[in-house]
């Protein structure tokens, strides 16, 4: 009887630990009148670490002039400190189309006031994410829509819900 109670207690504690460490993810379409209109409430990475990296950033006015781009706003809470790496050409960030399963590459990612990173060549480029914070990532894909999936390495896999 004691052994059964101990085993049940251990199983219950395991489930409670998993529930506490679960990352809450919200992923939605974001199509403002201008990609220059970024809310002040956005919270980006805590620190960026780069080794042998080159990247290109474009102003939001240039991004606005391009056609067929859809913003995808990803928000998640960090329960434990972690990091998010970007690979050359954003190869580790994909949108999977809901109907065809086609993989679509990321066009750009918001980096700072009025700028979007549109290309990267990196040996190592890492965003360090702060524990206990809500993190926002704004990404631009060609023709993203509700029901498509976003995959970032083994870090995040979620569906665009709104």
At 33 the three-state DSSP class reads: coil
Which residue has better confidence, 110 or 81?
Answer: 110
Strand intervals (E) in 41-112: 47-59, 69-77, 82-85, 93-96, 103-105, 108-112
- Cα distances from 3 to residues 11, 28, 48, in angstroms, run 12, 47, 49
Domain-located, residue 102: yes
Domain that holds residue 140: 24-159
* Nearest-angstrom CA–CA distance, 145 and 116: 20
Residue 128 lies in a domain: yes
pLDDT of residue 16: 32
Instruction: Give the three-state DSSP class for 18.
Output: helix
Per the domain annotation, does 1 fall within a domain? no
Is 14 a member of any domain? no
Average pLDDT, the chain: 81
Whole-model pTM: value is 0.79
């Amino acid at each position: 009887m004691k052994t059964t109670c101990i085993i049940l207690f251990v199983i219950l504690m395991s489930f409670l630990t998993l529930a506490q460490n679960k990352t809450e993810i919200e992923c939605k379409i974001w199509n403002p009148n201008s990609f220059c209109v970024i809310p002040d409430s956005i919270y980006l990475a805590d620190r960026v670490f780069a080794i042998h990296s080159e990247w290109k950033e474009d102003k939001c006015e240039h991004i606005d002039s391009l056609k067929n781009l859809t913003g995808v706003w990803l928000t998640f809470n960090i329960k434990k400190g972690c990091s998010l790496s970007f690979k050359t050409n954003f190869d580790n960030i994909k949108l999977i189309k809901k109907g065809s399963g086609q993989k679509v590459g990321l066009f750009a990612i918001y980096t700072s006031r009025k700028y979007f990173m549109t290309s990267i060549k990196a040996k190592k480029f890492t965003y360090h994410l702060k524990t206990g914070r809500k993190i926002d990532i704004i990404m631009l894909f060609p023709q993203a829509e509700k029901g498509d999936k976003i995959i970032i390495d083994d870090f995040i896999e979620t569906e665009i819900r709104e």
